[in-house]
């Protein structure tokens, strides 16, 4: 079975789409996948089972990236084409079956919209794929049995960034005497580039014993590090979604973006909202104490959380 799967150019949305791929892999274990995604998201799919080809989508003016993609996939018969970008390309290919997600913003979690593309219910949770070499790299960076608190203090939009001093106070409260992760090692993660480095710098400066993993990991390695962690706390970002997909307890911090649409989804993942109008609150309205309480409650829970659950 040949499946063409067209997903997002952004890491967070691409992570959310992995659940649908995982569903298809379980339904069709012998299927061969061609995945088209943004270049920054390629690493999410590099280790997936059944991958035959990975096609990076380089966005161009006037939508000229679509003819370029069509030229690479048009001369093949597809058993299934899944297009989560809502383009016309699925209708311009020979395919036995098509699933095209409707574009535009609408109510409900993004994961539900993705699952509706193929009529899958309940919506399958995202997954994270990494290999033995990635796990070995994570072990080398964070050796031993000591628990790890992973922090994600960066984001692609400054208004989504929780103040650095809150991350610092939270880390000290969780790993210090009496904390739920007392004695844990701290790892600070972020993407490549000067902007990510600048966002993480104050946190790293105040936590000199922390492992600096900003800009040094590819996505499969980041997944392995997150899977090795005891807890992740971070801004609304692709890293947050990746952490939740690994099954690691994950706290996503939300203010000016809607948790109703983009809360982290995993067996143990919660969104914690800043005080104020949902989707329009300032990140400064979220206290370290509130996040620490939510983290302690999440770590104490024996049962899985609901899709897109928000901390009480």
Structure confidence at residue 82 (pLDDT): 98
Structure confidence at residue 58 (pLDDT): 87
Structure confidence at residue 169 (pLDDT): 98
Is 126 inside any structural domain? no
Q: Check pLDDT > 90 for residue 284.
A: yes
Structure confidence at residue 191 (pLDDT): 95
294: pLDDT confidence band, cut at 50, 70 and 90?
Answer: very high
- For the stretch 229-273, pLDDT in tens is 999 999 999 999 999 999 999 999 999 999 999 999 999 999 999
Split into its structural domains, the chain has a count of 2
9: pLDDT confidence band, cut at 50, 70 and 90?
Answer: very high
Residues shown for the chain: 312
Shared domain for 91 and 168, answered yes or no, is no
Three-state secondary-structure class, residue 16:
helix
Structure confidence at residue 160 (pLDDT): 97
Which DSSP state fits 74?
A: S
Is 312 inside any structural domain? no
Q: CB-based contacts of 169: which residues, under 8 Å, 6+ apart?
A: 288
310: pLDDT confidence band, cut at 50, 70 and 90?
Answer: very high
Q: CB-based contacts of 197: which residues, under 8 Å, 6+ apart?
A: 190, 214, 215
Q: Check pLDDT > 90 for residue 33.
A: yes
- For the stretch 163-181, pLDDT in tens is 999 999 999 999 999 999 9
State both tokens at 211: 């492992």
Shared domain for 139 and 98, answered yes or no, is no
Shared domain for 101 and 190, answered yes or no, is no
Shared domain for 157 and 276, answered yes or no, is yes
Query: What's the rounded Cα separation, in Å, for the pair 1 and 227?
Result: 31
Shared domain for 156 and 28, answered yes or no, is no
Structure confidence at residue 64 (pLDDT): 86
Structure confidence at residue 106 (pLDDT): 83
Shared domain for 7 and 56, answered yes or no, is yes
- For the stretch 66-92, pLDDT in tens is 999 999 999 999 999 999 999 999 999
Percentage of residues in the chain having pLDDT higher than 90: 95
Q: Which residues pair with 2 in a beta bridge?
A: 32
Boundaries of domain holding 217:
132-300
Shared domain for 138 and 8, answered yes or no, is no
Structure confidence at residue 27 (pLDDT): 97
Mean of the per-residue pLDDT values for the chain? 96
Q: Check pLDDT > 80 for residue 104.
A: no
CATH number at residue 145: 3.40.50.2000
61: pLDDT confidence band, cut at 50, 70 and 90?
Answer: confident
Shared domain for 108 and 176, answered yes or no, is no
Structure confidence at residue 178 (pLDDT): 97
State both tokens at 39: 């270049």
Shared domain for 142 and 239, answered yes or no, is yes
Is 269 inside any structural domain? yes
* Model confidence, pTM: 0.97
Structure confidence at residue 225 (pLDDT): 98
- For the stretch 10-29, pLDDT in tens is 999 999 999 999 999 999 99
Q: What is the CA 51 to chain-centroid distance, rounded?
A: 20
Is 242 inside any structural domain? yes
State both tokens at 137: 């790299």
102: pLDDT confidence band, cut at 50, 70 and 90?
Answer: confident
Q: What is the CA 301 to chain-centroid distance, rounded?
A: 22
């Amino acid at each position: 079975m040949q499946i063409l799967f067209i997903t997002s150019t952004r890491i967070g949305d691409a992570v959310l789409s992995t659940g649908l791929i995982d569903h298809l892999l379980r339904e069709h274990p012998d299927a061969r996948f061609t995945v088209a995604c943004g270049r920054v998201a390629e690493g999410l799919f590099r280790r997936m089972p059944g991958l035959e080809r990975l096609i990076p989508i380089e966005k161009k003016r006037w939508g000229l990236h679509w003819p370029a993609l069509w030229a690479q996939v048009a001369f093949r018969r597809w058993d299934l084409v899944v297009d989560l970008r809502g383009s016309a390309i699925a209708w311009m290919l020979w395919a036995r079956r098509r699933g095209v997600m409707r574009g535009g913003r609408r109510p409900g979690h993004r994961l539900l919209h993705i699952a509706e593309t193929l009529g899958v219910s309940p919506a399958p949770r995202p997954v994270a794929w990494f290999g033995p070499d990635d796990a070995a790299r994570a072990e080398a960076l964070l050796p031993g049995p000591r628990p790890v608190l992973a922090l994600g203090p960066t984001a692609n939009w400054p208004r989504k960034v929780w103040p650095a001093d809150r991350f610092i106070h939270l880390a000290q409260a969780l790993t210090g005497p009496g904390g739920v992760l007392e004695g844990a090692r701290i790892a600070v993660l972020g993407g490549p580039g000067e902007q990510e480095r600048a966002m993480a710098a104050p946190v790293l400066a105040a936590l000199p014993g922390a492992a600096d993993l900003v800009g040094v990991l590819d996505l499969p390695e980041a997944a392995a590090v997150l899977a090795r962690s005891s807890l992740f706390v971070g801004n609304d970002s692709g890293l947050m979604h990746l952490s939740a997909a690994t099954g690691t307890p994950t706290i996503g911090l939300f203010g000016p973006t809607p948790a109703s649409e983009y809360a982290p989804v995993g067996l143990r993942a919660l969104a914690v909202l800043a005080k104020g109008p949902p989707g329009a609150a300032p990140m400064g309205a979220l206290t370290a104490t509130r996040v620490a309480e939510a983290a302690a409650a999440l770590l104490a829970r024996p049962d899985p959380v609901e899709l897109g659950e928000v901390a009480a």
